[in-house]
Amino acid sequence: MYALLRSFLGKFVKTGHLTVIDHSGARHDYGDGTGPRLVVRLHSKAAERAIATNPALKFGEAYMEGEIDLLEGTVYDLIMLGYANAGRALMPAAWMQAFERMRIVTRRFQQINTRLRARGNVQRHYDLSARLYRMFLDPDMQYSCAYYPGPDLPLDEAQLLKKRHIAAKLMIEDGMELLDIGCGWGGLGLYLARVAGARVDGVTLSDEQLAVARRRVVREDLAGQVDFRIQDYREIDRDFDRIVSVGMFEHVGINHFDAYFRKCAAMLRPGGVMLLHTIGRANPPGATNPFLRRYIFPGGYIPAMSEILQSVERSGLIVTDTEVLRLHYAETLKAWRAAFMARRDEAKALYDEAFCRMWEFYLAGSEAAFREGGMVVFQIQLAHRVDSVPVTRDYIPAAEERLARCEAQRGIPAPAWPEDWPADWSGRITAAARSDLDRAASARRNATSRRPG
């Protein structure tokens, strides 16, 4: 084994049960023998050298490229082993600490998200085939943290509770005009229109997401109430009663926080309310993980609460409520990872083995970060005036109960694709949706009839 890697593992892994088989076939044991047994095979000396010198980036790359195999255990188990040993510095060597300092120093240069670059960054991730996202998301295509009162809740129910929780904090009344910044596949906007009665403008930078969202508007017969479009939030020139942004702020970039909140302040009417739902770090400001920045979320950054609040204070808005969702995203990612792994062969047919390894590493590493790495979700409620929302939080559960009744009366939006609709959905869909459902059923029958045997 490359000497530097052997030295690093010997100093770092004191807890757990890790066996590493190096490129020559030699076995090296680390840890105190507790916990699940992990057996890792390294296939080349080049991979050993790369991991030793820059593990934050090269470990993920080596796994993605097939230079690492897990003979016992999973990549999630291996990442969690790292966190279990994090009492000793995750970057124990001087050169590793230098890499981390350099990432922090250069982070502002990596997040110069002009309008053109912002759209390119979004398209790299969100314009991947919708077939991929359908493999692991819930039927409403919610690609953000769900709301888990308990860990055993089905994913689709937890995502519905998330939408209800957000709607309760927004205190929407029928006919209010609402802006959804980063509307994705349209699920939240459609919920706020159908259930809460809002008139919704949703903006995205993803062509793939927009196409799906617009089809859903027609199926839900909400064309006069919901408008989804391609538009940068910086180009919007009107105001709204309510603003919501879920899972988009992570792409703004720290250089643009002040401009973001100033723009939101300008778009929010005097008595209005805004709800920002974003991943955050419970620790001081840092830098984006280099593997995620290169392969998953280019231009992205996970902010500390202190970084957000400084920009809010300069915008003229005030914070009227904050909530920190801690393990909710860990449970969401656990469900996504299980669903993806169950359909991994389909993903491999759509892309290739390297892509599947990259995606597995992303989901596993993210789940571990929300369990042990200080990642959380912030829900920050903002307003211009101190009297825009009640002075206690009692209104939130009361509003959630009212919204649950509205869901039963008005129905919730149908799943994003007709073939995902349950058989009992027919009483709550429009003629356009019924036509799509019939076509999907016909396609399934034709596919079945063509199968041999």
Mean per-residue pLDDT, 360-369 = 97
For residue 143, the enclosing domain spans 115-410
Classify residue 313: in a domain, yes or no: yes
Higher pLDDT, 105 or 336: 336
pLDDT in tens, 120-164: 444 444 457 888 999 999 999 999 999 999 888 999 999 999 999
Q: Are 273 and 198 in a shared domain?
A: yes
Classify residue 422: in a domain, yes or no: yes
CATH classification at residue 10: 3.30.1050
Mean per-residue pLDDT, 29-47 = 95
Q: Are 222 and 211 a contacting pair, CB within 8 Å?
A: no
The tokens for 429 are 């869909």
Question: What was the pLDDT predicted at 428?
Answer: 47
Would the pLDDT of 229 be above 50?
yes
CATH classification at residue 203: 3.40.50.150
Classify residue 105: in a domain, yes or no: no
pLDDT in tens, 394-410: 999 999 999 999 999 99
Classify residue 245: in a domain, yes or no: yes
Classify residue 128: in a domain, yes or no: yes
The tokens for 318 are 């005030």
The model's confidence at residue 53, banded by pLDDT at 50, 70 and 90, is confident
pTM, to two decimals: 0.86
Q: Are 141 and 47 in a shared domain?
A: no
Mean per-residue pLDDT, 236-259 = 95
Q: Are 403 and 423 in a shared domain?
A: no
Query: Which of 61, 92, 123 finishes a domain?
Result: 92
CA 177-183-184 angle, 5° bins? 160
Q: Are 67 and 127 in a shared domain?
A: no
Percentage of the chain beyond pLDDT 70 is 83
Question: What was the pLDDT predicted at 444?
Answer: 46
Q: Which of 226, 98, 197, 225 is nearest to 409 (CA)?
A: 197
Q: Are 243 and 345 in a shared domain?
A: yes
Question: What was the pLDDT predicted at 424?
Answer: 53
The region of weakest confidence among 63-67, 93-97, 256-260 is 93-97
Classify residue 163: in a domain, yes or no: yes
The model's confidence at residue 451, banded by pLDDT at 50, 70 and 90, is very low
Q: Are 235 and 345 in a shared domain?
A: yes
Q: Are 250 and 120 in a shared domain?
A: yes
Residue 368 CB neighbour total at 10 angstroms? 22
Neighbouring residues of 124: CB distance < 8 A, sequence distance ≥ 6: 298
pLDDT in tens, 179-210: 999 999 999 999 999 999 999 999 999 888 99
Q: Are 249 and 184 a contacting pair, CB within 8 Å?
A: no
Residue located via tokens 């017969």: 221
Classify residue 42: in a domain, yes or no: yes
Would the pLDDT of 253 be above 70?
yes
pLDDT in tens, 68-126: 999 999 999 999 999 999 854 445 555 555 555 555 555 555 545 555 444 444 444 44
The tokens for 150 are 């308990």
Separation CA 138–CA 116 (nearest Å): 31
The model's confidence at residue 265, banded by pLDDT at 50, 70 and 90, is very high
The tokens for 103 are 């990432």
Q: Are 400 and 425 in a shared domain?
A: no
Task: Round the average pLDDT of the chain to a whole number and report it.
Answer: 88
**Could you give the number of structural domains in the chain?**
3
Question: What was the pLDDT predicted at 421?
Answer: 59
Would the pLDDT of 430 be above 80?
no
Q: Are 384 and 270 a contacting pair, CB within 8 Å?
A: yes
Q: Are 61 and 187 in a shared domain?
A: no
Question: What was the pLDDT predicted at 150?
Answer: 87
Higher pLDDT, 255 or 439: 255
Q: Are 77 and 35 in a shared domain?
A: yes
What phi and psi, each to the nearest 5 degrees, are found at residue 220? -85, -5
Tell me how far CA of residue 100 lies from CA of 53, 57, 142, in angstroms.
12, 11, 32
Classify residue 97: in a domain, yes or no: no
The tokens for 233 are 């939030």
Judged by DSSP in three states, 6 sits in: helix
Query: Which of 59, 92, 125 finishes a domain?
Result: 92
Question: What was the pLDDT predicted at 297?
Answer: 83
Q: Are 84 and 232 in a shared domain?
A: no
Q: Are 71 and 213 in a shared domain?
A: no
Spell out the alpha helix ranges (H) of 152-246. 155-170, 187-194, 207-219
Percentage of the chain beyond pLDDT 90 is 72
The model's confidence at residue 289, banded by pLDDT at 50, 70 and 90, is confident
Mean per-residue pLDDT, 169-178 = 98
Residue 262 CB neighbour total at 10 angstroms? 15
Q: DSSP per residue over 316-352, as a string?
A: T-EEEEEEEE-SHHHHHHHHHHHHHHHTHHHHHHHS-
Quote helix, strand, coil % in the chain, to nearest 5: 50, 15, 30
Would the pLDDT of 380 be above 60?
yes
DSSP code for 256: G
